[in-house]
Structure 1
Amino acid sequence: MIKCEKRKLAKEKERFFKQNGGQILYQQILSRKVDTVIIFTVEDLKTATNNFDKSRELGIGGHGAVYKGILRDNKVVAVKRSKISNVTQAEEFVQEIIILSQINHRNIVRLLGCCLEVEVPILVYEFIPNGTLFHFIHGKQQPVSLEARLRIAQESAEALAYMHLSISHPIVHGDVKSLNILLDENYMAKVTDFGASRLLPKDEAQLMTIVQGTLGYLDPEYLQERKLTEKSDVYSFGVVLLELITRKTAIYSEGTDEQGKSLASSIIQAMKENKVEGMLDTSIMCVGMEELLQEVVVLSSQCLSIKREERPSMSQVADKLKAIRSTWSKLLLLKHNETELLIQDSGEDAACGSLSPSMYWTAGMMGMDIETPVANNRSTYSMG
């Protein structure tokens, strides 16, 4: 009886392995087209996650769950186990793994391997310890410095630009949001969750597909026409940029009884009425920085253009954010020098002198006395 069950289980694993393109992937590995992907057995991953124990859950959602795993060599990984659904065609799935395995960018979570002997393939990624950008912005009382926000924005933009331009087949992420940007031990941004991602065919700028994504971040043209393009990611990133400077969620309400508002629509309306300042996070509002914040608002509004051809590319967005950060650093240095002169002229000791509110935020943005959050083991990863 036990032998019969073992044979049945072995046959089922073999069937899933073939169904999920295991043989094709294995051939690619032998031909050295892929040399960075590890093929795990289901037993490997059960052991790593303590049989997918609930205490190991990093995040759970509509698409499945992500678990913290510890491999035999003590390497910590993130194990993404999707719910049963229509499995991607074997060739397409393998091609996606091949492309993802070739991505080598410091701001993109690295795919380490996969398990193909289950009905829906399990993916294994590098483990990122400090949770999501969403929780970093919205889940803490201590304000985050503008410098940190601009750096995270630039890093995320550079990752998306790399996906769009720097590999053999452009990849459209398809679900850019603050929950899909993780923060490593140094709070460096890492774009993750490629469940809705699509490889664009060569020489084609768009792909017809079933609409996927998240309410509040979805490109209106994609929603209407079902044409996924690189500019769909640009729109979604524009919403993330607004989250960073307003500390409002993509769909937000300002009162307990108020119906949810679209952050994208609200900022566009505020720009028309010249009321943008009222929407910005007060903790990053300081004297002399208004024009710089206005540049960030304008950039986000360009990303949110209704017509995709009017939106900048992700590489243009990344370049603009780099320029804004450079200007910001120079302004900070100038303001810091002015503050020191004021302290010297007044005869106050720097440790004893009181700071005005605007000077306090300047000090905070320069990295002084800004407390960094500690993420716990749970609710740090998103699954759709």
Structure 2
Amino acid sequence: MGSSAAPSSCHPLLFPLLFLIWAVVLFPSPTGAGPVSVPSISANFTASYLQFIDNSGAFLASQNSSFQARITNAKPESTSFYFVIIHVDSNTIVWSANRNQPIAKSSELRLTANGLTLYNDTGHPIWSTPRNLPSVSSMHLLESGNLVLLDGRNNTLWESFDFPTDVLVVGQKLRVGKSLVSSLSDGDLSEGSYRFVIGYNDAMLQWNGMNYWKLSMDKRAFRDTNFPVEYMVLNFTGLYLIGGNGLQIVIKVILDDSSDVSANSPYFRIVKLDQNGMFSVVKINVMGRSSEQEFRGPTDSCQIPFICRRLGVCTNGGSCQCAPAFHYDPNMNSGDCVPTDGSLALPGSCNGSSSNSTAVKYLTLRNDLDYFSNDFADPVVHDVSLSACQNLCSINCSCLGVFYSQVSGSCYMVMNYIGSIMIKSSSTDRLGYIKTIALGVPNGYSQKTKSDFPVVAVILLPSSGVIVIALVAILIWLRRRRRRWEKFADSKLGRDYSSSSAEGEMEFVSIPGLPIRFDFKVLAVATGGFKTQIGSGGFGTVYKGTLRDGTDVAVKKITCLGSQGKREFLTEIAVIGKIHHVNLVKLKGFCAYRGQRFLVYEYMSRGSLDRTLFHGEPVLQWNERYEIALGTARGLAYLHSGCEHKIIHCDVKPENILLHDKSQVKISDFGLSKLLSPEQSGLFTTMRGTRGYLAPEWLTSSAISDKTDVYSYGMVLLELIRGKKNSSPQTHSNNSSGTDSNRENVAPSSSSSGESGNRLVYFPLFALEMHEERRYMELADPRLMGQVRSEDVEKLVRVALCCVHEEPNLRPSMSNVVGMLEGGVPLGEPRMESLNFLRFYGRRFTEASTLKENMNSEQNQLMLYRQPTTNSNSSYNSFSYMSSQQVSGPR
């Protein structure tokens, strides 16, 4: 008995020790892995699916375990693994890192001081956070579902919320330019063909880049304001598009039973773009594991572009059958429809060559059928015949069909992809024609025409041959006569006859985002032969016209087509045709005819700002000036940050700010615009713009950026305040105690002495001096006769001076300018050290004005910058005299 007691007494210590050794040997801890369900992980961490297989690949959890970071597969039977964030109770994947590049079980995720990197099973990186992150200290999974990387001071360096996939959770912002992209299937998270995109004015669904639904179309969506959209967010009450620096609701969708969904409720709400192209808000009951759609778009499934596959007709919310003259492909299970006639086939992939060497035949659709994209895209051309419309499609290998309106002669093209056909939702006379290829006919129509021509009959019947030859001769004579008449007419209208070619004009049809193309005869009739000139600019003359439907338009004839003329024209129509904003002039269409280029804009009844502000009667009131300043700022803010690519106007001036009824203000003339992708530096090689509005960086070979437009806007703002050109002479008394606001209208002193009487001053310098003395009423247009308060003038003066800082990085963005004018952003304080250059501008302005008066010559050159002869602590560059042509660039 005694001998057996010893082992028994060792039992409580021996077995735990043996178990610990056994566990360590068989299940070694991963390097830096740490325990599961921790809310944060420090750097130098490695994880893989195999290391956490008992916990479904999870290695990180939010504080209340609502969300987990996992390496897992989308379906149990799948061998494709992803790094994901998952909502635990509903088992919903809300984010995935490597959706297009799945990994194997043994692949690793590593967190280092450089960021987060996912490697495949061969050790090659296939996904990572940006490689230029500052030193990463830790990774956290927040209770919101947001995965963040932090530095040692807990500053956020990167977050998954900025890179959404196909799901949004409550509180996650989907910003302008971002999108949700559908997955291919439940088991394959790869990106599909559907996108939900946040635009500047709306949110929209797209299939292969083509719109098919907008949020504002839904009857439950209400538009509150016209502010530019900044982001979309889902909260416990509804779905919102937000603008106005995050303070204004643009569009809202209030959801039912919102009180049931809160932070502490058993419900979980998400926004989802599913694999079939349906956008929905889903409320998930995490207790009963049930879900319901609270909102969906589009409500009619037949509006989804590929709901019935290719050329399937959708009826009754999803019932599919092939369009007439088509049937389901008997050789494939794809569900696509193909021509019933076995001698015809749908066009194959476009390899860059046109299809005019192949026999093309168009199959007509029923007159009650339409295509989804027709309601979201403008026709490629107006006022053409059906045959001309089809010919345009025939020579374009990317065109798969056309829809043609007999009433307007409008031609719509189906490009690159063709989806399902839908029943017409509105009364339209559009008829559809699907392009097919005749199999086994290599030379197309030309061969058919040659083979069918009765050559033998002509040879056997000499009289018939004579008749044919005579008819051909008459046709040739008539054609040459018409050309001579057209050439004579062209010379009368100042048109270049020799520079046109059919091929050269046809290239404009293939420009992405092309607006309506007008026939030259339509514009000639609309403008009465280009008689009523309403303006002119750097690249052309503008005429007023009225289209056949009674719409007034402004037709701009491009007259300065030098070596860059064609490029400028293509840039303008490509840029303006794609963007729409309440403060930007809309490009309605264009015309290319016999070497000439015309742009057709919406008509602005009050003309340009310079006419109204400097010469108009009655005087422009202060509240109107303020609305013009705000509208112009909003338009520029959209160009700088609301478009897919940053657009720099490069010629902001009163002549390019147009006014319409009810105080509408719009920016025009994008002939000088430059498109910048985020990767581009913004350097230009030629100076553009107008003297008086050019930023200093134009003269110093510095980078030209959106801050260049900010400078020009500041100069325009000063002219709005004063009611005169900044460069027009005014007098400034040395009596600093004086308050005579009318003194700017006193005749300038020829002596320009700063010590006696009055001296000529440059108005931006005068504004700076009055700002320093807080005498803002000295700057207001005297014609307003006290109808403006000092604090109102101060607001615009401070904004303007901030905009004209010499250093571009000190100027506010146009979005911040909008915020300052609206009151959502505190007013900036002008930096004196960055405004001293105005003193040298003012000095040279005074010298040049006096010299010009003495010389009485329009060729006097204005020296903008020059190192002062007196001692100065400033270090401004020295410039020689520059002519207005050198400063302004080609006009």
The TM-score normalised by the length of structure 1 is: 0.73
Does 2:520 align with 1:42?
Answer: yes
Residue 276 of structure 1 and its aligned partner are, at CA, apart by 4.5
Change (3 A) 1:6 1:226: farther
Residue correspondence of structure 1 range 134-145 to structure 2 within 5 A: 134-140=610-616, 142-145=618-621
Mapping of residues 77-226 of structure 1, within 5 Å: 77-88=553-564, 93-140=569-616, 142-225=618-701
Distance 2:539 2:761 in 1: 25
The whole-number CA distance in structure 1 between the counterparts of 2:662 and 2:638 is: 21
Greater CA deviation, 149-158 or 80-89? 80-89
Residue equivalent to 1:25: 508
Rounded to whole Å, the distance in 2 between the matches of 1:248 and 1:92 is 31
Match of 2:771 in 1: 271
1:316 aligns with one of 816, 839, 861: 816
* CA shift for structure 1 position 205: 4.5
Q: Deviation digits for residues 318-350 of structure 1, max 9, x if unmatched?
A: 1111118999xxxxxxxxxxxxxxxxxxxxxxx
Taking the aligned partners of 2:626 and 2:767, their CA distance within structure 1 comes to: 18
Q: How has the CA–CA distance of structure 1 residues 203 and 12 changed in structure 2, closer, same or farther, with 3 Å as cutoff?
A: same
Tell me whether 1:52 sits opposite 2:547 in the alignment: no
CA distance in 1: counterparts of 2:781 and 2:802, whole angstroms: 20
Cα distance, 1:229 vs. partner?
1.7
> 2:527, 2:546 within 8 Å by CA — same for their partners in 1?
yes
List per-residue Cα deviations over 1:111-161 (Å, max 9, x = no partner). 011112243421110111011222222223544332221111111100010
Which residue does the alignment assign to 1:301? Answer: 801
Say if 2:569 and 2:597, in contact at 8 Å, map to a contact too.
no
Instruction: Select between 266-275 and 165-174 the one with higher mean Cα deviation.
Output: 266-275
| Counterpart for residue 251 of structure 1 | 727
The answer to whether the Cα contact below 8 Å between 1:111 and 1:123 also exists between their aligned partners in 2 is yes
- Give the letter aligned to residue 305 of structure 1: H
- Which amino acid in 2 is paired with 1:97? I
Counting helix residues as a fraction of each chain, which structure ranks higher? 1
Give the CA deviation at 1:6: 4.4
Asked whether the 8 Å contact 2:622–2:788 carries over to 1, the reply is no
Structure possessing the higher relative contact order (Cα contacts under 8 Å, 6 or more residues apart)? 1
Distance in 1 of aligned mates of 2:503 and 2:684: 27
SS of structure 2 residue aligned to 1:121: strand
Helix, strand or coil at the partner of 1:239: helix
Alpha carbons of structure 1 residues 151 and 44: separation in structure 2 relative to 1, 3 Å: same
Over 3 Å counting, the alpha-carbon distance change for 1:325 and 1:16 in structure 2 is: farther
Cα deviation for residue 98 of structure 1 reads: 2.4
Assess, with a 3 A threshold, how the Cα gap between structure 1 residues 325 and 69 changes in structure 2: closer, same or farther: farther
Call closer, same or farther: CA 1:75–1:166 in 2, change over 3 Å: same
Q: Describe the superposition over 1:65-111 as per-residue Cα deviations: whole angstroms up to 9, x where unpaired.
A: 10001222222110001223325476774354222111110111100
**Conserved? CA contact 1:17–1:118, under 8 Å:** no
Contact 1:112 1:125 in 2 (8 A): yes
Structure 1 CA distance for aligned equivalents of residues 617 and 593 of structure 2: 45
Query: Considering only CA atoms, is the larger Rg found in Structure 1 or Structure 2?
Result: 2
Post-superposition shift, 1:248? 2.1
> In the alignment, is residue 291 of structure 1 matched against residue 791 of structure 2?
yes
Letter in 2 for 1:309: N
**Correspondence for 1:15:** 500
Farther-moved stretch of structure 1 (196-205 vs 246-255): 196-205
Identity, in percent, stands at 31
- Aligned 8 A contact 2:568 2:671 in 1: no
In structure 2, give the amino acid aligned to 1:38.
I
CA contact (8 A) 2:652 2:709 kept: yes
The structure in which a higher percent of residues are strand is 2
- Report how far residue 7 of structure 1 moved: 5.0
Q: Tell me, yes or no, if the aligned pair for 2:727 and 2:762 is still in contact at 8 Å.
A: yes
Report the Cα distance in structure 2 between the residues aligned to 1:218 and 1:159, rounded to whole angstroms: 19
Q: Distance in 2 between matches of 1:216 and 1:97?
A: 27
Deviation at 1:194, TM superposition (A): 1.4
Q: In terms of mean alpha carbon deviation, does 222-231 or 240-249 score higher?
A: 222-231
Give the superposition deviation at 1:262: 3.9
- Structure 1 residues 16 and 261: CA distance shift in structure 2, 3 A: farther
- Structure 2 spans left out of the alignment, 5+ residues: 1-476, 488-495, 731-746, 753-759, 828-890
The CA distance in 2 between the partners of 1:257 and 1:290, in whole Å, is: 28
CA distance in 2, matches of 1:209, 1:17: 33
- Opposite residue 247 of structure 1, the aligned amino acid is G
Change (3 A) 1:240 1:306: same
How far has the Cα of 1:283 moved from its partner? 5.3
In structure 1, the gaps of 5 or more residues are: 328-383
